[in-house]
Structure formats: structure tokens, C-alpha cells
């Protein structure tokens, strides 16, 4: 469905979080550079403050007269309509998410290891330890239900800070939201789906998108708005029916909406913010048709899938097509180290290799693979226990299936079998980077540190002719603003 934006605005850094006033006339924006910006519905900047560190939590109370923010500087602040600080609390730990109950009485924040409740005046009520970063939080009216998510775990607390329940999901979560009455909970994450849960955390429905679901936001009049890395905003009913799908020009990292659900704002992984007017009362879109539109948009036809997963004819370099436009594993041919100074990517057709070796790590036994899926289907019949090529291929297949932990295992095994193979080190670095982001999505520095030693090894083993590490390091430098 085509929607022309009411405004699109560029700010000074990548957009991390958004908040909208009840009437939709004011929007607060937090970016990775630590800037807090307040704009009006037309996209005009009203005021801007630099908080020194990345802002990861935002809320607007009422019609824009109070803005609450938290971030990596370990402080919770409330600003008035002129951009002046009304109060400030030092939390002592980074704030990764923030939400305010619909009545504006309580503030729930997710920190690096806890969920904490504050009053509107900045007084701490209680803190519940989670031992993991809470990258998403949600709170119902009067704080009766408070939810938080981090890694694969989802927590639900009551107004007193007592744990109602804790669930472990199948994949890492990005965000969570709860409706006003605490009857419905919505989550999104790395499995590319929007999930609707009941108040006990049981699954009711799920809606598949074409990318990682970075943001979910429950609506005043029931339903949900969600943002996906497939460059779309999704408007769903409480029962998971698609009402609207809005295309943007970038991966959607955060969303917010007016109480009347007539105006929605989205932030993208670049520095762009879009405002759209949407229909207040909409009928569900025919689900099969909507799914067909997604397939046409992101080219997921069955023919293309077969070409990607079943063909073994050529492996090409794959850079700039991963999460957040990041580099992904190098699938070029194995480097001939006798000609390393003149290395060029080799287009390789792989053939089964017979080995008589009986030495094999039980962790990599064929029995650990499921009976379905590309990784097993393509390679189980060809596993050669001492050939580095097979572990690289298994790692590439696991990566395609978004099984990052398994891919990292295969790449690590490849480095053990042939420590001089540069692709193994490079691909292990890429997996380490993304796995670190899954554990703590906004800790870019930590993710880069987890990968850097492996990249150095890839460069050392590959020599000047192997450029994959250079491209990856250049990307990391741009993320850290140290390109010069």
C-alpha cells in the first residue's frame, strides 16, 4: 500500500528511538550520537540537546510538555516544553529502553541488567534483576503489568515488582509492548515475525515480515504498529490481521503513533525520520495478497529460493547485504596460499571429497543436524571430517538459515583444521560481531571488539591480496566514527 510521507527529516545520527505526543503534534527523536531532538508534525525542529551518549529510551507525557529520556550516560531525565531539565536521576548503569504508562504516572526502564520502575517525579520504586540487558520494555495502565525483553528471554512483572512469569523464546528479541489493560503482549525480534501473546505469555498468533522486527508499539484503540528491517511499517489488529503496510526508504528501527492512530512516525537505520497519515478505521487486508506483496518486494519467490539454497554452481562475495547493511560471510573460493600476493576470488564448484579419517569432533557429528533445512539437505551426505571446505560450506549454509551460533561453530572448526585459511577467520569474525549484537543490540563497540582479533588473523593469513577484512574493518570504522 502506497503512503506519501507528510514529512521526511534527516537528523545528525542514526535513529535509535522515537516518542510521539498524544495528539501527534510533537515527536521526540534520540540518535546514536547522543542528540535529543524535538520536532513538530511538519518536521520542523523545535529544540535539540546533546546528551553526550547514545539515547535508547524516550517517552512524551501528555501533549508534548514533558519529554523523558535515558541512555548510555546512565541518567534518567525529564525535559520541559522548552528543552530545560526538570529533574535528573543518576541510575548508575546504561538505560537500554524506556516506556511510560498511559496515564503518565510510572516510568519503566530497562537497564544493562534489570527492569526498574520510577514515578513521574523521578523517584525509584523498585528494581528487578535480570542479569541481561533489557532492550525492550512495556507498561500497561497504572503499571499493573510491566514487561521487558533481553536475549531470548521475556519477563512479566506486577506493580510491586514481583515476577509474574518468565519465558524463553526461540530467538533473540528486539522489543516488547503491552496493551493498556495488560491483556495482550506483543514482541518482535530476529525471527522476522511479530508475535501476539496473552497475559500469561502464551502465543496467540504470529505475523511473518520480510526482515528483523526492531520495534513494536501497542495502540490506544487496540492493535499494534511494528517496524521491520524489510523497510516497512506494519499495522495489525489484536488478532494479527494486517490492516496496513507502509513502505519506507530504510530499515525501520523504531516507531511511534498518536493516540488517535491517525499519524505514525518511523525512524530508520540511517538518520531519516518519516511521518505518515494513516486510516483510523481500516478493514483487514487479504492476508495471502499481503504476503504476495512482500514476496514481490523482497524477491522471495520460490524460484529464487531454490536458486539460493540448492545451487552449488558459484559462490560470490556477499558484502553490504547483511543486518544493518553490514558485511556478511565471504563465500569466495579458498585462497591458494602459494599465490596469496596475487589473490583473486575463485568461483568454485564444490565436489564431494572422500576421506578415510576416523578422527572427528563429536560436537560436529552428522547426528546433530535436523532432518530438514538447507544445511543438512545440501551437505550432510558430503561431510568430510578433515576438509576445511566442508566446514566453510556448512557455516555458510547455517548463516543463510540465520543459525548464527551454529555457523560460528563451523567457522571455528575450520580455523582449527586449517589455521592458515583466511576466510575461516573472517567469517568467524562476522559471526562473533552479530552474536554480540544479539546479546546487546546497541553495544557497537563491544561487538567490534569481539570480532577484531579474528579479522586481524584473516588479514595476516590472507595477505595483501585478500581484501575481505579491509572491507569489514572499514565498515566497523564508519560505525565507530573513526574512519579517518
Tens digit of pLDDT for each residue in 133-188?
899 999 998 889 999 998 889 999 999 999 999 999 988 899 999 999 999 999 99
Number of domains in the chain: 2
Tens digit of pLDDT for each residue in 42-101?
888 899 998 877 788 999 987 778 999 998 889 999 999 888 999 999 998 889 999 999
pLDDT of residue 442: 67
pLDDT of residue 183: 92
All residue ranges of the chain with pLDDT < 50 are 1, 288-324, 336-385, 483-484
Handedness of CA 473, 474, 477, 478 (dihedral sign): negative
* Same domain, yes or no: 105 and 121: yes
Which of 320, 253, 233, 265 shows the shortest CA–CA distance to 31? 253
- By the 8 A CB rule, do 244 and 231 touch? no
Handedness of CA 114, 153, 327, 454 (dihedral sign): positive
Q: Give burial (CB, 10 Å; 0-12/13-18/19+) of 286.
A: exposed
Structural Rg of the chain based on CA atoms: 24
CATH assignment at residue 60: 2.130.10.10
Domain of residue 322, residue span:
302-479
Q: How far apart are alpha carbons 412 and 404 in whole angstroms? A: 12
Q: How far apart are alpha carbons 96 and 77 in whole angstroms? A: 14
* Same domain, yes or no: 250 and 313: no
Tell me, yes or no, whether 1 lies in a domain: no
* Same domain, yes or no: 46 and 117: yes
pLDDT of residue 354: 31
For residue 23, the SS3 value is: coil
Q: Whose grid coordinates read 584473516?
A: 458
Tell me, yes or no, whether 351 lies in a domain: yes
264, 298, 332 — which closes off a domain?
298
pLDDT of residue 314: 34
CATH assignment at residue 377: 1.25.40.10
* Same domain, yes or no: 65 and 134: yes
Cell numbers that stand for 205 in this block = 498468533
What string of H, E and C letters represents the secondary structure of 210-265? CCCEEEEEECCCCCEEEEECCCEEEEECCCCCEEEEEECCCCEEEEEECCCCCEEE
* Same domain, yes or no: 287 and 338: no
Evaluate if pTM is beyond 0.75.
no
Q: How far apart are alpha carbons 260 and 4 in whole angstroms? A: 19
* DSSP letters spanning 127-173: EEE-SS---EEEE-GGGS-EEEEETTEEEEE-TTS-EEEEEE-SS-E
Cell numbers that stand for 251 in this block = 530499515
Cell numbers that stand for 124 in this block = 525509584
Q: How far apart are alpha carbons 367 and 186 in whole angstroms? A: 36
* Same domain, yes or no: 293 and 320: no
Tell me, yes or no, whether 285 lies in a domain: yes
250, 268, 298 — which closes off a domain?
298
Tell me, yes or no, whether 2 lies in a domain: no
pLDDT of residue 2: 58
* Same domain, yes or no: 389 and 337: yes
pLDDT of residue 281: 60
- By the 8 A CB rule, do 331 and 317 touch? yes
252, 279, 298 — which closes off a domain?
298
pLDDT of residue 381: 41
Tell me, yes or no, whether 169 lies in a domain: yes
Tell me, yes or no, whether 93 lies in a domain: yes
* Same domain, yes or no: 221 and 319: no
Amino acid at each position: 500500500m502506497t503512503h506519501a510521507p507528510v514529512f521526511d527529516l534527516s537528523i545528525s545520527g542514526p535513529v535509535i528511538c522515537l516518542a510521539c505526543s498524544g495528539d501527534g503534534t510533537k515527536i521526540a527523536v534520540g540518535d546514536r550520537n547522543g542528540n535529543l531532538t524535538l520536532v513538530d508534525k511538519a518536521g520542523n525542529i523545535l529544540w535539540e540537546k546533546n546528551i553526550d551518549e547514545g539515547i535508547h529510551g524516550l517517552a512524551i507525557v501528555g501533549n508534548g510538555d514533558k519529554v523523558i529520556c535515558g541512555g548510555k550516560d546512565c541518567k534518567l531525565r525529564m525535559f520541559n516544553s522548552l528543552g530545560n531539565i526538570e529533574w535528573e536521576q543518576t541510575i548508575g548503569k546504561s538505560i537500554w529502553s524506556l516506556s511510560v504508562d498511559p496515564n503518565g504516572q510510572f516510568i519503566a526502564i530497562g537497564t544493562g541488567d534489570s527492569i526498574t520502575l520510577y514515578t513521574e517525579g523521578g523517584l525509584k520504586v523498585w528494581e528487578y534483576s535480570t542479569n541481561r540487558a533489557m532492550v525492550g520494555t512495556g507498561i500497561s495502565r497504572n503499571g499493573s503489568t510491566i514487561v521487558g525483553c533481553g536475549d531470548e528471554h521475556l519477563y512479566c512483572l506486577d506493580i510491586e515488582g514481583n515476577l509474574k512469569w518468565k519465558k524463553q523464546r526461540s530467538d533473540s528479541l528486539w522489543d516488547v509492548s503491552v496493551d493498556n489493560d495488560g491483556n495482550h503482549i506483543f514482541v518482535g525480534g530476529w525471527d522476522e515475525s511479530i508475535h501476539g501473546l496473552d497475559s500469561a505469555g502464551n502465543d496467540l498468533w504470529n505475523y511473518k515480515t520480510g526482515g528483523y522486527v526492531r520495534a513494536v508499539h501497542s495502540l490506544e484503540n487496540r492493535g499494534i504498529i511494528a517496524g521491520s528491517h524489510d523497510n516497512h511499517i506494519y499495522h495489525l489488529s489484536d488478532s494479527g490481521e494486517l490492516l496496513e503496510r507502509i513502505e519506507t526508504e530504510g530499515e525501520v528501527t523504531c516507531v511511534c503513533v498518536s493516540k488517535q492512530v491517525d499519524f505514525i512516525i518511523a525512524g530508520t537505520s540511517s538518520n531519516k525520520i518519516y511521518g505518515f497519515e494513516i486510516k483510523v478505521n481500516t478493514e483487514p487486508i487479504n492476508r495471502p495478497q499481503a504476503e504476495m506483496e512482500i514476496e514481490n518486494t523482497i524477491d522471495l519467490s520460490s524460484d529464487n529460493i531454490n536458486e539460493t539454497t540448492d545451487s552449488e554452481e558459484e559462490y560470490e562475495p556477499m558484502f553490504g547485504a547483511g543486518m544493518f547493511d553490514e558485511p556478511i560471510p565471504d563465500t569466495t573460493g579458498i585462497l591458494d596460499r602459494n599465490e596469496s600476493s596475487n589473490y583473486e576470488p575463485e568461483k568454485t564448484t564444490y565436489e564431494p571429497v572422500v576421506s578415510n579419517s576416523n578422527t572427528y569432533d563429536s560436537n560436529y557429528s552428522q547426528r546433530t543436524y535436523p532432518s530438514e533445512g538447507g544445511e543438512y539437505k545440501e551437505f550432510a551426505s558430503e561431510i568430510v571430517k578433515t576438509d576445511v571446505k566442508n566446514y566453510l560450506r556448512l557455516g555458510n549454509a547455517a548463516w543463510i538459515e540465520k543459525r548464527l551460533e551454529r555457523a560460528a561453530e563451523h567457522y571455528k572448526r575450520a580455523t582449527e583444521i586449517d589455521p592458515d585459511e583466511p576466510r575461516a577467520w573472517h567469517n568467524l569474525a562476522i559471526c562473533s560481531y552479530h552474536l554480540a549484537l544479539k546479546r546487546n543490540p546497541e553495544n557497537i563497540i563491544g561487538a567490534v571488539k569481539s570480532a577484531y582479533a579474528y579479522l586481524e588473523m584473516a588479514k595476516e593469513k590472507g595477505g595483501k591480496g585478500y581484501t575481505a577484512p579491509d572491507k569489514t574493518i572499514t565498515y566497523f570504522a564508519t560505525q565507530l566514527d573513526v574512519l579517518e
